[in-house]
């Protein structure tokens, strides 16, 4: 067989003996990769008269797109909402460690903070590709401070803000810059929020509704102005009521503009949402469900006292509370744990569980042509998992960046 070197000098790797998640189902196919992209093997064979340079036996593993976490506040002792001198090394540590959870891209998330924190931290969060150094950074998720006092959750009340006469300018002054910002969570019932939602959407920033007492018509109006996401559904919002279902009602609203999909984050850690609530949401709107960890600095550490921005939080088992209260404050769940719990709680297919952590977040961010799938020409960010959905190896741009060792660690 003639070599394929006429097209590219880069080697072609063929992953064999695997089941690939493609077109919403697991298929017994090989995965072909070159120069960080997924190849169409027919083109290689017929157009280039080429063949694989390397074959890797996957021993029956599932191959799925890498997980994308659009809401993660930190982990391993690192808090993204703290302006520290070594912030960059902290974000590097988290991006390296979450490779073992199957996360290949993420949005570092800042909870409600004083303007000085945003001005110091945001210039240090730059969008970058993943690799052996760690998961890729897709941009920051700013959760607050333009949220409801009644539904502040673990956010510090003294830092909350409202939109004044120059609403969008208020937001710019608070954050300092929108460079590298991917998602902003705000409460849509706040005065002048429509103007802000329109301006953010115009700049390609995803607007998420959360920490809010909005009724359904306020939530629908926000979607009509461009909002596309709901921050941790059921948490920090009015509970579902049959006469006015609030933000939760967006899952079955008939006022969503044609061609638009509303996505919603869910913390599937067995604590933030009862399994029955997970099932209700999933059955009502399966294509919009996005798994998020909402992980805090204490993820990966022993129980005890940790931080979440300006607050001290206590970890007790898998529960995390604002110190001295029973207010939940983020989670210590890992993304692979959330995927397994979601599948177990809902009884959904393996494919559905995996897509909730890969395809759906990619669609939310409008990057599904590059990430979140194993389609031809997509980025070769993928995982090898066993049948119980435990991550065995993580690949970014076709390179192995993490592998479980023989002892299972």
Six-digit token pair at 373? 């799938």
Let me know: does 47 contact 55? Beta carbons within 8 Å.
Answer: no
The answer on whether 368 is annotated among ligand-binding residues is no
**239 CB burial (10 A radius; 0-12, 13-18, 19+):** exposed
The answer on whether 56 is annotated among ligand-binding residues is no
The answer on whether 272 is annotated among ligand-binding residues is yes
The answer on whether 330 is annotated among ligand-binding residues is yes
User: What distance in Å separates the CA atoms of residue 366 and residue 369, rounded to the nearest whole number?
Assistant: 8
Annotate 205-225 with DSSP letters as a single string. Answer: PEEEE-SB---HHHHHHHHHT
Annotate 14-44 with DSSP letters as a single string. Answer: EEES-EEEETTEEEE--EEEETTEE--HHHH
User: What distance in Å separates the CA atoms of residue 161 and residue 183, rounded to the nearest whole number?
Assistant: 18
The answer on whether 143 is annotated among ligand-binding residues is yes
The β-bridge partners of 382 are 65, 395
Contacts of 409 (CB under 8 A, 6+ apart): none
The answer on whether 81 is annotated among ligand-binding residues is no
| 69 catalytically annotated | no
CA 29 to chain centroid: 28
The β-bridge partners of 25 are 22
Catalytic residue (one of 294, 336, 379, 381): 294
The answer on whether 225 is annotated among ligand-binding residues is no
- For residue 149, what are the CA distances in angstroms to 168, 213, 222? 20, 9, 19
The answer on whether 258 is annotated among ligand-binding residues is no
The answer on whether 154 is annotated among ligand-binding residues is yes
- Binding residues for Zn(2+), as ranges, are 143, 211, 232
Q: Which residues are catalytic?
A: 294
- Binding residues for substrate, as ranges, are 154, 235-236, 243, 272, 328-330
- Binding residues, as ranges, are 143, 154, 211, 232, 235-236, 243, 272, 328-330
């Amino acid at each position: 067989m003639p070599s394929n070197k006429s097209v590219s000098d880069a080697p072609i790797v063929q992953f064999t003996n695997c089941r690939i998640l493609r077109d919403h189902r697991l298929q017994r196919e090989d995965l072909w990769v070159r120069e960080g992209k997924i190849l169409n093997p027919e083109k290689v064979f017929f157009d280039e008269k080429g063949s694989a340079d390397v074959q890797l036996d996957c021993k029956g593993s599932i191959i799925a797109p890498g997980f994308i976490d659009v809401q993660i506040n930190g982990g391993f002792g690192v808090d993204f909402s703290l302006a520290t001198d070594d912030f960059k090394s902290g974000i590097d540590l988290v991006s390296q460690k979450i490779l073992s959870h199957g996360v290949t891209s993420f949005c570092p998330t800042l909870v409600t903070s004083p303007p000085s924190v945003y001005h110091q931290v945001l210039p240090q969060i730059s969008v970058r590709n993943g690799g052996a150094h760690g998961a890729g950074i897709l941009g920051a998720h700013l959760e607050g401070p333009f949220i409801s006092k009644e539904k502040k959750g673990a956010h510090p009340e003294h830092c909350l803000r409202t939109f004044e006469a120059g609403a969008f300018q208020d937001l710019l002054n608070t954050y300092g810059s929108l460079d590298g910002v991917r998602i902003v969570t705000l409460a849509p019932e706040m005065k002048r929020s429509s103007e802000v939602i329109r301006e953010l959407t115009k700049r390609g920033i995803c607007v998420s509704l959360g920490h809010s007492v909005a009724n359904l018509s306020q939530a629908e109006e926000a979607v009509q102005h461009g909002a596309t996401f709901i921050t941790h559904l059921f948490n920090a919002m009015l509970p579902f009521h049959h006469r006015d279902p609030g933000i939760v009602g967006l899952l079955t609203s008939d006022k969503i503009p044609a061609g638009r999909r509303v996505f919603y984050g869910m913390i599937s850690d067995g604590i933030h949402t009862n399994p029955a609530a997970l099932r209700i949401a999933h059955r009502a709107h399966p294509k919009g469900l996005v798994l998020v960890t909402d992980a805090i600095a204490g993820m990966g550490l022993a129980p005890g006292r940790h931080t979440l921005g300006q607050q001290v939080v206590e970890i007790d088992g898998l529960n995390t509370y604002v110190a001295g209260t029973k207010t939940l404050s983020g989670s210590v769940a890992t993304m692979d744990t959330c995927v397994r719990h979601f599948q177990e709680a809902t009884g959904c297919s393996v494919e559905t569980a995996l897509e909730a952590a890969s395809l759906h977040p990619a669609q939310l961010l409008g990057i599904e042509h590059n990430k979140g799938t194993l389609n031809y020409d997509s980025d070769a960010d993928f995982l090898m998992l066993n049948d119980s959905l435990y991550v065995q190896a993580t690949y970014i741009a076709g390179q192995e960046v993490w592998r479980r060792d023989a002892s299972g660690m």
